[in-house]
């Protein structure tokens, strides 16, 4: 039986979907929203299809949040990551940064970050996932936004599929965790609590995403590297746990599983977040992210 991608899609999907839905303003949400998400069941486990990289950051551009290149992990840091765990984590960070630059058509940066993740793929043993012609395609499509985003998608799916097919779910979990963290880091540090209500609310919804991420990482907690990463994200979960989920909200968004094996994104609950809680989440995200990208002097 053909293997399926075994990373929970909501790790990376909830953030972009909820922001994209909200970018038109709350006035457009007049009833429960239903978006079907394909799932695959194997035995007693449920896995979700992986979203493409452009879905990760499209909502930022569409909702009016501005690009901030200072948030990117500098490509000059890549040679300083020699520990396998830190290499996998920063592969996830750089992959998210790649998607971020492509979404905002910062094509010179996109080329650099594509080359960086290709370079970092070799020491962590996933360089076989890359078609060497991809970098040439990137360089040849700097003036074609759609083609460039499609190419970054191809690279992303190639890595996910390679890790899945080679039973490296532990490494995939580490990479996905770092990629998700980078998306939250970018959003938290480009969002103004007082002005960007929709973005703040959707950031709060990451409480649900984080729960799914922790479930996935817990499957591989016997791995020393995963166990350490899990500890960091458990600290973040403790901060998210202070948020209050409100049942019965007309404009809230939640995931529900239907009998036909579909996940439905619909109304029915919302998560309340105060400015103090928002700042606490941002601070903890920044702390974990800085521990990942820091280099020794």
Q: Residue 15 in contact with residue 183, Cβ under 8 Å?
A: yes
Q: Which residues pair with 39 in a beta bridge?
A: 48
Number of folded domains in the chain?
1
pLDDT tens per residue across span 176-208: 899 889 989 998 999 999 998 878 887 888 888
Query: What whole-number percentage of the chain has pLDDT above 90?
Result: 33
Residue 79 lies inside a defined structural domain of this protein: yes
| Of the candidates 160, 155, 149, 194, the residue with the CA atom closest to the CA atom of residue 55 | 149
Helices 206-218/224-240 angle, 10° precision: 160
The tokens for 180 are 């998700």
In a domain, 245, yes or no: yes
Cβ-in-10-Å burial (0-12, 13-18, 19+) of 218 comes to: middle
> Where does the pLDDT of residue 65 fall: very low under 50, low under 70, confident under 90, or very high at 90 and above?
confident
Instruction: Output DSSP code: residue 242.
Output: T
Report if residue 2 sits inside a domain: no
Query: pTM above the 0.85 mark?
Result: no
Residue 3 lies in a domain: no
Mean residue pLDDT of the chain comes to 74
Cα–Cα–Cα angle for 9, 92, 112, rounded to 5 degrees: 125
Residues 39, 10: contact at Cβ < 8 Å?
no
Q: Are 138 and 111 contacting, i.e. CB atoms less than 8 angstroms apart?
A: yes
1 within some domain: no
- Is residue 45, in this structure, part of any structural domain at all? yes
Q: Give the Cα separation of 27 and 6 in Å (integer).
A: 36
Tokens encoding 49: 């299809």
The range of the structural domain enclosing residue 248 comes to: 10-293
Q: What is the pLDDT of residue 165?
A: 84
Any domain includes 175: yes
Most confident of 22-36, 52-66, 279-293: 279-293
The number of residues making up the chain comes to 297
The residue among 156 and 227 whose pLDDT is bigger is 227
Q: Which of 148, 144, 161, 86 is nearest to 112 (CA)?
A: 148
Helix, strand counts (H, E) of the chain: 11, 7
Please write the tens of the pLDDT for every residue from 236-263.
999 999 998 876 444 444 444 444 444 4
Q: pLDDT of 148-179, one tens digit each?
A: 667 676 777 778 778 888 888 899 889 989 98
Residue 117 lies inside a defined structural domain of this protein: yes
């Amino acid at each position: 039986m053909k293997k399926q991608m075994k990373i929970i899609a909501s790790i990376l999907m909830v953030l972009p979907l909820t922001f994209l839905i909200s970018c038109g303003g709350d006035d457009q949400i007049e009833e429960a929203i239903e978006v079907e998400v394909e799932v695959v069941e194997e035995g007693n486990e449920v896995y979700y299809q992986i979203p493409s990289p452009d879905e990760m950051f499209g909502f930022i551009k569409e909702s009016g949040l501005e690009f901030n290149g200072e948030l990117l992990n500098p490509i000059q840091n890549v040679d300083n990551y020699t520990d396998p765990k830190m290499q996998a984590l920063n592969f996830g960070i750089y992959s998210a940064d790649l998607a971020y630059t492509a979404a905002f058509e910062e094509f010179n940066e996109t080329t650099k970050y594509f080359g960086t993740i290709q370079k970092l793929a070799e020491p962590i043993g996933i360089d076989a996932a890359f078609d060497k012609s991809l970098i040439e395609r990137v360089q040849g499509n700097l003036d074609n936004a759609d083609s460039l985003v499609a190419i970054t998608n191809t690279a992303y799916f190639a890595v996910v599929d390679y890790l899945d097919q080679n039973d490296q779910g532990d490494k995939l979990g580490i990479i996905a965790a770092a990629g998700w963290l980078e998306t939250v880091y970018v959003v938290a540090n480009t969002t103004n609590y007082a002005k960007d209500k929709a973005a703040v609310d959707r950031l709060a919804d990451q409480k649900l995403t984080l729960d799914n991420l922790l479930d996935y990482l817990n499957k591989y907690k016997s791995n020393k590297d995963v166990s350490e990463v899990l500890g960091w994200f458990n600290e973040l979960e403790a901060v998210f746990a202070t948020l209050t989920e409100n049942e019965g909200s007309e404009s809230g968004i939640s995931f529900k599983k239907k009998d036909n094996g579909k996940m439905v994104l619909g109304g029915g609950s919302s998560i309340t977040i105060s400015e103090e809680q928002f700042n606490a989440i941002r601070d903890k995200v920044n702390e974990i992210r800085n521990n990942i990208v820091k280099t020794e002097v």
